[in-house]
A and B are shown apart, each in its own frame.
Chain A
Amino acid sequence: MIIELLIAGGAVTTVNEFRKIGKSLKIDEEAMHRYAKSFSRSADAKRMIEQCEKSADESMLKLANRKRAILKSSIKDFLEIYQNIQNISFIEGEGIKELSSLSLSNADIKQLGTMSVSSNIPLSDKEMITSVMFKGITSTMIKDSERKLSAANNQMRAANVEYSQAETIALLYNEIKNRADKMADLLKQMNAILVKSVAETRKVIISSDNNAKNFSRDDKLVVINCINWVKGVKEILDAPLFNKDGELEKQAEEAIRIGEEKLREIKGAI
């Protein structure tokens, strides 16, 4: 009877130990799963920044193309016609120089946290002995697995922080992109009016035979409007998107605001 009881007790203990081993393995698996997920999230964060950077670069390229195109076509036309009243110098300003390089500083992105692998907190010898003596080796295995899981959770938290940092950087890139797109669009609209204004002025000059006396009041108004409009376009062309410290320049924001206002005015007048 005693032997039978001992055998039964032994069997129950063995089953219990196997159950604990199974539990430990399950926790280990879960820890690896979380590590995989967190590394993936970190990789996603890096990719998100790369994409936003690429997208912002394209918008900057669009803006640079537009600025050059306007300088080479509409402004060139304007300068040809107004050789004698040419008092606006269209030297490539900071805005053009800056855009011709087209490269954004990667330094901030590179600083994005390196993948830090959270390590397990070790059991001290004393803890190990106590734990093995009083809880058995399988319970210790579970405890160890739980520590691994906890480390994996830390990694996940770190990845989440990295992701939210990436989102902040992405916001900055999106702001650059939005501003470049806004500026490019504004330049397109202003250029359309400039082209018409230059054409109108050309007509006036030809009809007046380059003689100031032949200019009527309305003719003069056409010329003045054209010059004023060119000044407005020049302000946008010369407005840099960033200052020397790489911060978004307020001048650009102001130039866009004034440009949009002028555009609204002129569209209202038309």
Chain B
Amino acid sequence: MKKVTVSGKCNACGLCTIDQKYLEESSTGMAVAVSGKYISDNDLQQVEELVRNCPEGALSIVEEVLNMSKQDFVKNAVKQLESIAELGKPKSSDFSFISSDYLLSTGFPNGEGDYIYSTRDKAIKAALKEFDRIAYSQIKVMALNVLTMYKSKCLAPYYDLDSPNLYDENNKKIENILKEINGRYKALFGESLGYEFETFEAYPDRDSNSTLRGLFKNEYFAPTLASKVEKKMNAEYPISQYSCYCYINDREVWEEKGAFGREKYVRRYCYNSIENAVDHLKENVIRNVSYTDCQASAHAFACSLIYQYNYNMKKEIRERIDILKRLK
């Protein structure tokens, strides 16, 4: 039986993919042979012309000797399916947390530059209160934000099935093998193994309590680790530690006219800026997120999903093997 093949010389002119079934276009326009398509006698002349007309000489027709009994075919196909490798475990280095990738923002402080406090201590207290409102009380939320971004960056191909993911990629490869087997079967014995045989959709468990759903809905991973970060930071960096980053100013402020028309001035204090304290807190949050076991945890989640996928993939392949073994 004859098949058309495409070499690396293809320049994506697209001529060979117009109105015919043996070649298709890749996403970048290169010609790709359709898996499992053997050239029928009726189409041979047309395909030969196609090969001749390729401006780059990238197409060729190869002859495959397909002369075997059904028993041998099944034996070969089963062997081929059994040899499909599992998806490999991801490397832990794929889950590195790079602090500089994350930016946090907070609300804006109120009351900066208001000379209304009678003592320095009161100004510091007010600064810390404002700092608490816009930043310190938000440690958990900020950690959650960073961890969600990290999760999205490193784990999305493992849990987000709506986007390009590892499973679809591997399923496509397996589907091509199945199409080849089906195409060969059709060419040899004139009948098809069916569309269901070719369609391959294996995924990790997707029920409502599954790891995949939990990660997708952001219920696992980020919330747990964010709580850890909050606890650690509350214990190790109490709010009072940030007082040194709050700038306090003082000046004489006119208050009222005295009893004999004398001007009366009093010393008043304000917090000038708490920006520095907020920046330090943000840095601490990101640093503390990196100190959690987020990388190991992400790696473990990925491994768990890959394990589930491999299990389901093998199950699906076994079903195809059973179909083949039932052939008479």
Contact A189 B18 (CB under 8 A): yes
Contacts of B27 in A (CB 8 A): 55, 58-59, 62
Of the candidate stretches A9-17, A39-47, A224-232, A246-254, the one touching chain B is: A39-47
Contact B104 A117 (CB under 8 A): yes
Say yes or no: is B133 at the interface (Cβ < 8 Å to chain A).
yes
What number of residue pairs across chains A and B have CB atoms under 8 A from each other?
A: 128
Say yes or no: is B241 at the interface (Cβ < 8 Å to chain A).
no
Number of A residues with CB within 8 Å of any CB on chain B: 46
Taken together as a complex, chains A and B put the C-alpha atoms of A61 and B12 apart, in Å, by 10
Interface readout for A28-59 with B: 1 if CB under 8 Å, 0 if not? 00001101110110111011100100010011
Contact B12 A62 (CB under 8 A): yes
Q: Report if A69-B107 is in contact (Cβ < 8 Å); known contacts: A37-B217, A40-B148.
A: no
Contact B133 A119 (CB under 8 A): yes
Say yes or no: is B208 at the interface (Cβ < 8 Å to chain A).
no
Contacts of B223 in A (CB 8 A): 32-33, 36
Q: Report if A47-B55 is in contact (Cβ < 8 Å); known contacts: A58-B27, A119-B138.
A: no
Contact A74 B133 (CB under 8 A): no
Contacts of B15 in A (CB 8 A): 188, 191-192, 195
Contacts of A42 in B (CB 8 A): 148
Contact A40 B103 (CB under 8 A): no
Interface readout for B214-229 with A: 1 if CB under 8 Å, 0 if not? 0001110011001000
Q: Report if A188-B11 is in contact (Cβ < 8 Å); known contacts: A47-B160, A119-B133.
A: no
Taken together as a complex, chains A and B put the C-alpha atoms of A231 and B292 apart, in Å, by 64
Contacts of A35 in B (CB 8 A): 141, 144-145
Say yes or no: is B209 at the interface (Cβ < 8 Å to chain A).
no
Taken together as a complex, chains A and B put the C-alpha atoms of A115 and B160 apart, in Å, by 21
Interface hits, B149-183 → A, CB 8 Å: 149, 151-152, 156, 160, 163-164
Q: Say how far A253's CB is from chain B's closest CB, in angstroms.
A: 21
Interface hits, A104-151 → B, CB 8 Å: 114-120, 122
Q: Say how far A136's CB is from chain B's closest CB, in angstroms.
A: 21
Say yes or no: is A223 at the interface (Cβ < 8 Å to chain B).
no
Contact A58 B160 (CB under 8 A): no
Contacts of B134 in A (CB 8 A): 119
Contact B107 A117 (CB under 8 A): yes
Q: Report if A61-B28 is in contact (Cβ < 8 Å); known contacts: A36-B148, A119-B134.
A: yes
Contacts of B13 in A (CB 8 A): 66, 69-70, 73-74, 188, 191
Say yes or no: is B299 at the interface (Cβ < 8 Å to chain A).
no
Closest A-chain residue to B152, C-beta based?
A43
Q: Say how far A4's CB is from chain B's closest CB, in angstroms.
A: 43
Interface readout for B21-64 with A: 1 if CB under 8 Å, 0 if not? 00001011110000000000000000000000101100000000
Contact A117 B29 (CB under 8 A): no
Taken together as a complex, chains A and B put the C-alpha atoms of A61 and B14 apart, in Å, by 13
Contact A73 B56 (CB under 8 A): yes
* Contacting residue for B141 out of A59, A62, A117, A195, CB 8 A: A117
Q: Say how far A80's CB is from chain B's closest CB, in angstroms.
A: 12
Q: Report if A40-B218 is in contact (Cβ < 8 Å); known contacts: A65-B28, A73-B11.
A: yes
Say yes or no: is B69 at the interface (Cβ < 8 Å to chain A).
no
Say yes or no: is A184 at the interface (Cβ < 8 Å to chain B).
yes
Closest A-chain residue to B53, C-beta based?
A195
Say yes or no: is A68 at the interface (Cβ < 8 Å to chain B).
yes
Contacts of B67 in A (CB 8 A): none
Contacts of A188 in B (CB 8 A): 13-15, 17-18
Q: Say how far B268's CB is from chain A's closest CB, in angstroms.
A: 18
Contacts of A185 in B (CB 8 A): 14
Contacts of B106 in A (CB 8 A): 117, 119
* Contacting residue for B29 out of A44, A62, A72, A114, CB 8 A: A62
Contact A44 B55 (CB under 8 A): no
Q: Report if A120-B104 is in contact (Cβ < 8 Å); known contacts: A37-B218, A65-B28.
A: no
Taken together as a complex, chains A and B put the C-alpha atoms of A187 and B11 apart, in Å, by 14
Closest A-chain residue to B55, C-beta based?
A73
Say yes or no: is B129 at the interface (Cβ < 8 Å to chain A).
yes
- Tell which of B104, B144, B145 has the most Cβ of chain A within 10 Å: B145
Say yes or no: is B142 at the interface (Cβ < 8 Å to chain A).
yes
Contact A69 B11 (CB under 8 A): yes
Contact B28 A32 (CB under 8 A): no
Contacts of B160 in A (CB 8 A): 44, 47
Taken together as a complex, chains A and B put the C-alpha atoms of A103 and B149 apart, in Å, by 25
Taken together as a complex, chains A and B put the C-alpha atoms of A122 and B133 apart, in Å, by 6
A positions within 8 Å CB-CB of B: 32-33, 35-37, 39-40, 42-44, 46-48, 51, 55, 58-59, 61-63, 65-66, 68-70, 72-74, 77, 114-120, 122, 155, 184-185, 187-189, 191-192, 195
B positions within 8 Å CB-CB of A: 11-15, 17-18, 25, 27-30, 53, 55-56, 103-107, 129, 133-135, 137-138, 140-142, 144-145, 148-149, 151-152, 156, 160, 163-164, 217-219, 222-223, 226
CB pairs A–B below 8 angstroms (17 shown): A32-B141, A36-B144, A44-B160, A46-B152, A62-B27, A62-B28, A66-B14, A73-B56, A74-B13, A74-B55, A115-B145, A116-B105, A116-B107, A120-B137, A184-B29, A185-B14, A195-B53
